């Protein structure tokens, strides 16, 4: 279906893949524990699929990837030689210094201090939702970080080189997951996890275990993601998770990721327990922070309360929470835009079309590349366009690439 997925509405894509599997509507409904009428209304575009878990269940029942149902656009030019392409990032991940590759030819190992500045800048681009600029930097940054691990064989320099390579793989993985490149994101997460373990640095180890869970969640592996979260601190000092702002932030963010994963099982009790742990970590931290690029604190916990309500399809609770979601500048652009998208989804699910459109417009203005990459944003824009005659809603749908 490559090349025509975005020309189809979500419902038409469901119908296409259902028929390809040879299923009737009642048979697909039975696989999902839903009625035949529910499937009919989804395919007709009369009801949205707002739950990420239901989206994953649909993909599994239809034997396709979630990205196939979402109709993800190509945001980065995927051809050899383009500095910001997925192909160039793939090449950087797959090559090593000991293999032939133009990326490494004549390349001098970087100074660790300079490499640290570049890694921090890369994370800054991700949190600013500057996906294209980040993609242009990643191939060279991955090469430099890998070279550093070969250059420093022992001592503190070795630990620092491994740490920097691990967090470079982390930012690569989260970008690739955002672009729907889940398999390649897994490669980055796995390489980073190995480097983090070799470094012995508890903060980096926990950060990369969070990264692994994040990628698993994007691949629809909610149970695996929960397992990683519940065992993430295995092998670390028992008191480490509360020993510093960095530790609290990493632990709290891991709990937030785990709560979302638990919601997709669905397991309300476990999701609630993990949210409570995240809340305690945020309270202990006392304010919003961005330790190791986590953007963790009370504001992020509130954003995730809304996310969980949407996961469980508690529409009224989501609408009640939406006005209270903090969208100020204490959070990075990426997190604010995602939270505003969730506010728009809440209003959209409640039939409050104008409010949903206004919130989605603001999310797009703040983070256009992020919204173009997000399947839920594109599907919401397509649905709002069908429901509203507003010119700006049509312009938004065009900008998000959901109209032809």
Quick one: pLDDT at residue 8?
65
Quick one: pLDDT at residue 79?
47
What average pLDDT does range 278-304 have in this prediction?
Answer: 93
d(CA 266, CA 279): 20
Percentage of the chain modeled with pLDDT above 90 = 57
d(CA 377, CA 347): 13
Domain(s) labelled CATH 1.10.260.40 in the chain stretch across 5-69
Quick one: pLDDT at residue 100?
41
Q: Are 166 and 204 in contact (CB under 8 A)?
A: yes
pTM over 0.85: no
Tens-digit pLDDT profile for residues 147-188: 899 888 889 999 999 999 999 999 999 999 998 888 899 999
Quick one: pLDDT at residue 42?
86
Quick one: pLDDT at residue 56?
79
Q: Are 271 and 263 in contact (CB under 8 A)?
A: yes
CATH number for the domain whose boundaries are 5-69: 1.10.260.40
Average pLDDT, the chain: 87
| 3-class DSSP assignment, residue 402 | coil
pLDDT band at 359 (very low <50, low <70, confident <90, very high): very high
Tens-digit pLDDT profile for residues 68-101: 776 655 555 544 445 567 888 888 888 765 554 5
Residues 6+ apart with CB under 8 A from 365: none
What average pLDDT does range 193-206 have in this prediction?
Answer: 94
d(CA 13, CA 358): 27
Q: Are 66 and 55 in contact (CB under 8 A)?
A: yes
Tokens of 301: 């916990």
d(CA 130, CA 93): 21
Sole residue written with tokens 């949903």: 356
Q: Are 268 and 312 in contact (CB under 8 A)?
A: yes
d(CA 356, CA 338): 14
Sole residue written with tokens 């009640």: 320
Helix (H) or strand (E) holding 395: helix 391-399
Report CA torsion sign: 302, 308, 309, 310. Answer: positive
Report CA torsion sign: 186, 188, 191, 197. Answer: negative
Quick one: pLDDT at residue 86?
81
Helix (H) or strand (E) holding 268: helix 268-285
User: Which of these, 7, 134, 13, lies nearest to 76 by C-alpha position?
Assistant: 134
């Amino acid at each position: 279906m490559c090349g025509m997925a975005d020309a189809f509405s979500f419902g038409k894509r469901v119908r296409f893949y259902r028929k390809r599997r040879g299923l009737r509507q009642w048979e697909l409904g039975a696989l999902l524990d839903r009625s035949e009428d529910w499937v009919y209304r989804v395919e007709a575009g009369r009801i949205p699929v707002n739950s990420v878990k239901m989206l994953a269940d649909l993909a599994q029942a239809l034997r396709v990837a979630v990205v196939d149902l979402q109709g993800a656009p190509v945001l980065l030019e995927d051809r050899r030689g383009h500095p910001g392409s997925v192909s160039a990032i793939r090449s950087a991940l797959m090559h090593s210094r000991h293999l032939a590759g133009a990326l490494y030819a004549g390349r001098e190992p970087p100074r660790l201090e300079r490499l640290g500045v570049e890694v921090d800048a890369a994370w800054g681009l991700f949190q600013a939702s500057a996906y294209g600029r980040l993609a242009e930097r990643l191939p060279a940054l991955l090469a430099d970080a890998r070279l550093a691990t070969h250059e420093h064989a022992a001592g503190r320099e070795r630990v620092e080189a491994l740490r920097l390579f691990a967090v470079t793989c982390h930012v690569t993985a989260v970008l690739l997951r955002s672009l729907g490149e889940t398999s390649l994101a897994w490669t980055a997460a796995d390489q980073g996890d190995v480097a983090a373990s070799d470094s012995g640095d508890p903060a980096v180890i926990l950060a990369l275990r969070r990264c692994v869970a994040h990628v698993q969640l994007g691949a629809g592996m909610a149970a695996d993601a929960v397992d990683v979260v519940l065992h993430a601190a295995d092998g670390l000092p028992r008191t480490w998770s509360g020993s510093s702002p960095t530790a609290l932030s990493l632990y709290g963010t891991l709990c937030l990721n785990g709560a979302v994963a638990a919601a997709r099982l669905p397991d309300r009790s476990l999701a609630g327990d993990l949210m409570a742990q995240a809340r305690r970590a945020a309270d202990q931290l006392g304010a919003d922070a961005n330790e190791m690029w986590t953007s963790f604190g009370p504001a992020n916990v509130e954003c995730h309360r809304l996310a969980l309500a949407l996961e469980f399809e508690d529409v009224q609770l989501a609408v009640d929470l939406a006005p209270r979601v903090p969208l100020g500048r204490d959070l990075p652009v990426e997190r604010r835009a995602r939270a505003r998208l969730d506010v728009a989804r809440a209003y959209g699910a409640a039939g409050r079309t104008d409010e949903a459109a206004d919130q989605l417009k603001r999310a797009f203005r703040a983070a256009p590349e992020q919204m173009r990459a997000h399947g839920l944003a594109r599907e919401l824009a397509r649905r709002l366009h069908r429901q509203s005659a507003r010119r700006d809603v049509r312009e938004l749908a065009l900008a998000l690439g959901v109209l032809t």
